[in-house]
Amino acid sequence: MNTESRRGFHTDGITEEGQACLDVIFSRRSYRGKYRPDPVPREHLDAILRAGLSAPSGCNRQTVSLIAVDDPTLLARIRAVIDPPAGETAPAVICVLSRRIIAYRDRCFATQDYAAAIENMLLAITALGYRSCWYEGHITDTDRICDRIAGILDVPEGTELVCVLPVGIAEEEARLPKKKPFAERAWYNGFGGGTERSRMRVAQMLQKYHNHDSRLPYYELILEGKLTDLPVMPLPAGYRFENYRDGDREAWIRIERSAKEFSSWDEGEEAWRKYYEGHEEELKKRMFFVVNEQGQKAATATAFYDIRSADDGVNGMLHWVAVCAEEQGKGLSKPLILKALHTMKDSGYTRAVIPTQTTTWLACKVYLDLGFRPVPRNAERSRKGWELIRSLTWHPALVEFAGAEEKGPDTEGTLL
Ligand SMILES: Cc1cc2nc3c(=O)[nH]c(=O)nc-3n(C[C@H](O)[C@H](O)[C@H](O)COP(=O)(O)O)c2cc1C
């Protein structure tokens, strides 16, 4: 069994040495604070350099070389070119050098080689009781601090200085970095934690399952998101869009009933009165129908706003998306939803709220795929509903609703 706490990670059956190795791995972290002035003994620097050189390299090309700097005069010259300062109080610095040697054909693994060497050294540094930080972005940026350090150290042309690692005893506590939960980044047997079977099941259901799954308990689900980066998706051949026209109320109720949004005609009429009566002129720009080759209205959606509050022109609401029963599984819903969302965006709205429910979980997957996410208050109130959607879709955006058996050993944020 694995157990994990903020102080360490333990796995059953491990040797003491193995545990010590894991302890080092889990206690390494980037340190950007002040260092004590105590020098780092040469034996320690030597051990760190050897750890770096013992790292794997692509085709064993050994593209990495290293320079440890502990001479105070040289250190001062290096510090003078690192602007803004980084690791400036460290009594030693290791400079990582890389040569872009071809491993085979046109493949060069120089970057992977030095990354492996750096991690080995960071672990050795940690094992010896020191702290460090991988400074690469800072020194290889457009101001090319790395080239100036290389100049100070007589690094020949063709060899690039790619990273510096300060080494020393930390004067302060190292900050805990925020890491994403285990279950968001690591899985068994497939991306997102879904087994092949469950992914296939979703794919099959997306193709042929009735859009309204009445076997599921009902929970109201509300998603929200920005109206940016929306893809464009044409309707399948033979279908076209039509805007609402006077007299389309009956067609709307018929489609919504067929999609099981209402159990009776009266219910449909009541919903129309509540949402749209008196707004018919607006609907001509906001309500859409998908029409089939025979001229029959097959699906509908409305780019509206929250009727409980005034239209602020910023927050749109997607209303009453429905595809009638005999037209389901034909790829109409995604183009229809996108048509409504694009219309909203083109009318100046920047965000959209999308109310839906567990019984139409396939539509919910479409919204999640488009980047919409549960509204936090609804995620709390309808947690069970969202858990259901996660278990049906294995959608990676819903990882926080994963069931206990799916979560794996660590779900609580940082490792150490
Ligand atoms: C390729 C690479 C470049 C990095 N460059 C910098 C840098 O220029 N400055 C810095 O403060 N940290 C740098 N870091 C450290 C990361 O910010 C750090 O690893 C990350 O925030 C996670 O924290 P942790 O190392 O404590 O787990 C770099 C790390 C890597 C892998």
Q: Where are the domains of the chain?
A: 31-167, 186-401
Q: What separation in angstroms does the CA of 354 have from each of 214, 217, 318, 384?
A: 20, 19, 5, 18
pLDDT score at 415: 29
For residue 96, give the 3-state DSSP assignment. Answer: strand
User: Which residue owns the Cα nearest ligand 1 atom 15?
Assistant: 134
Q: For ligand 1, is residue 134 a contact (CB within 6 Å)?
A: yes
CA of 29 to the centre of ligand 1 (A): 9
**How much is the pTM?**
0.57
User: Which residue owns the Cα nearest ligand 1 atom 3?
Assistant: 136
User: Strand 315-323 and strand 351-357: pairing?
Assistant: parallel
CA of 36 to the centre of ligand 1 (A): 21
User: Which residue owns the Cα nearest ligand 1 atom 2?
Assistant: 136
pLDDT score at 413: 35
**Domain 186-401 in the same topology as domain 31-167:** no
Q: For ligand 1, is residue 137 a contact (CB within 6 Å)?
A: yes
Instruction: Residue 191: name the closest of 389, 395, 413, 407 by CA.
Output: 395
Fold exhibited by the domain 31-167: NADH Oxidase (3.40.109)
User: Which residue owns the Cα nearest ligand 1 atom 14?
Assistant: 134
pLDDT score at 107: 96
pLDDT score at 183: 79
Q: For ligand 1, is residue 275 a contact (CB within 6 Å)?
A: no
Q: For ligand 1, is residue 135 a contact (CB within 6 Å)?
A: yes
pLDDT score at 204: 56
Pocket of ligand 1, candidates 30, 82, 165: which has the most ligand atoms within 8 Å of its Cβ, to mutate? 30
- Residues 159, 65 contacting (CB under 8 angstroms): yes
Pocket of ligand 1, candidates 136, 180, 414: which has the most ligand atoms within 8 Å of its Cβ, to mutate? 136
What is the spatial distance between Cα 82 and Cα 67, in angstroms, rounded to a whole number?
Answer: 17
CA of 161 to the centre of ligand 1 (A): 17
- Dihedral sign for Cα 233, 236, 240, 243, please: negative
- Dihedral sign for Cα 335, 341, 342, 343, please: positive
Read off the tokens for 170.
């930390």
* CATH class given for the domain over 186-401: alpha beta
- Residues 367, 223 contacting (CB under 8 angstroms): yes
CA of 189 to the centre of ligand 1 (A): 30
What is the spatial distance between Cα 414 and Cα 416, in angstroms, rounded to a whole number?
Answer: 6
The phi, psi pair for 207, rounded to 5°, reads -75, -45
- Residues 363, 301 contacting (CB under 8 angstroms): no
CA of 150 to the centre of ligand 1 (A): 21
pLDDT score at 408: 45
Average pLDDT across each block of 10 residues of the chain; the chain has 416 residues. List them in order: 63 91 96 98 98 98 98 98 97 98 96 98 98 98 97 98 98 91 83 60 53 78 94 95 96 94 92 94 96 96 91 93 92 94 96 93 90 96 92 89 60 33
pLDDT score at 394: 86
Q: Exposed/middle/buried for 216, CB within 10 Å: 0-12, 13-18, 19+?
A: middle
User: Which residue owns the Cα nearest ligand 1 atom 29?
Assistant: 134
